[in-house]
Amino acid sequence: MKPIKSLLVLAIVCVPAFASAQGYYGRRRAEPEAGGFHHRAGRLTFGFGVGIGGLHDGGSAITECVNCDVQPLTFEANAHIGGMINSQLALLFEVQGNVQTVQRNGGFDDDTTLSQGAALFAAQFWVLPQLWIKGGLGFSRLTVGDNTFTEDFGSGSALLAAAGVEVFSARNFALEIQGRLLWTSYNSFDDNLTSGTVGLGVSWY
């Protein structure tokens, strides 16, 4: 019976110590890096967002609104996918769409809808653990249409600047408030649009 008793004593002593060590090292792996940044290096990241704001025409009368009491709102949606280079830098493929309806002559029959899509390569950098900035460069496409006619402005160039605050921040998930500024140009820079929106986004890591 002595060998059995010895084994029981060894199990009683060693198992709790082993479990405690496992829990300790598990907690260490879950802790943020120096500076409070999450361990996200080498991970896939993807997400999407929606926003609302305005759209400014750089002089080409694309968005001209006659007899409007207020400037029409612009609705925006975006999505991204990419990878975390380290815990502070991500390289992304980003898409964004903007839609705005304007009244050229003050009547609903003359409503004109602007639809713009952009595809960009972007870099996102976390300045602080819950604060990031983003810049991107790519291409865009614009169509302007009403009930009878649609004009295709074709492809243009696009520049993106954005910033966000993670109001809920975890290693694998973030809920954020983001502001986005998208500048696009068409027809050899004769037609320029700038959209500014504020909205909510979610990202997974």
Residue 15: band (very low, low, confident or very high) from pLDDT cuts 50, 70, 90: very low
Higher pLDDT, 114 or 23: 114
Residues 176 and 184: their CA atoms lie apart, in Å, by 25
Tell whether the model's pLDDT for residue 10 goes beyond 60.
Answer: no
Q: Which residues pair with 168 in a beta bridge?
A: 175
CB burial class (10 A; 0-12, 13-18, 19+) of residue 94?
Answer: buried
The pLDDT of 185-192, averaged and rounded, is: 83
Nearest to 200 by CA among 172, 170, 164, 173: 164
Q: How does DSSP classify residue 2?
A: H
User: Structure tokens of 150?
Assistant: 């649609």
Tell whether the model's pLDDT for residue 56 goes beyond 70.
Answer: yes
User: Residue 19: what residue type?
Assistant: A
The pLDDT of 7-29, averaged and rounded, is: 45
Higher pLDDT, 178 or 112: 178
CB 102 within 8 A of CB 111: yes
Rounded (10°) CA dihedral 41, 46, 49, 54: 80
Residues 31 and 33: their CA atoms lie apart, in Å, by 7
For residue 63, the model assigns a pLDDT of: 60
Tell whether the model's pLDDT for residue 23 goes beyond 70.
Answer: no
Q: Which residues pair with 128 in a beta bridge?
A: 131
For residue 169, the model assigns a pLDDT of: 96
Q: What is the tens place of the pLDDT at every residue in 89-140?
A: 999 999 999 999 876 555 555 678 889 999 999 999 999 999 999 999 999 9
The least confident of 10-14, 120-124, 167-171 is: 10-14
For residue 201, the model assigns a pLDDT of: 98
Q: Which helix or strand (DSSP H or E) is residue 67 part of?
A: none
Higher pLDDT, 77 or 24: 77
Tell whether the model's pLDDT for residue 18 goes beyond 60.
Answer: no
Q: What is the DSSP secondary-structure string of 8-48? A: HHHHHHHHHHHHHHHHHHHHHHHS--TTS----TT-EEEEE
The least confident of 47-51, 52-56, 108-112 is: 108-112
Average pLDDT, the chain: 82
Residues 138 and 156: their CA atoms lie apart, in Å, by 9
The pLDDT of 34-57, averaged and rounded, is: 93
Cα 135 from chain centre: 11
For residue 190, the model assigns a pLDDT of: 78
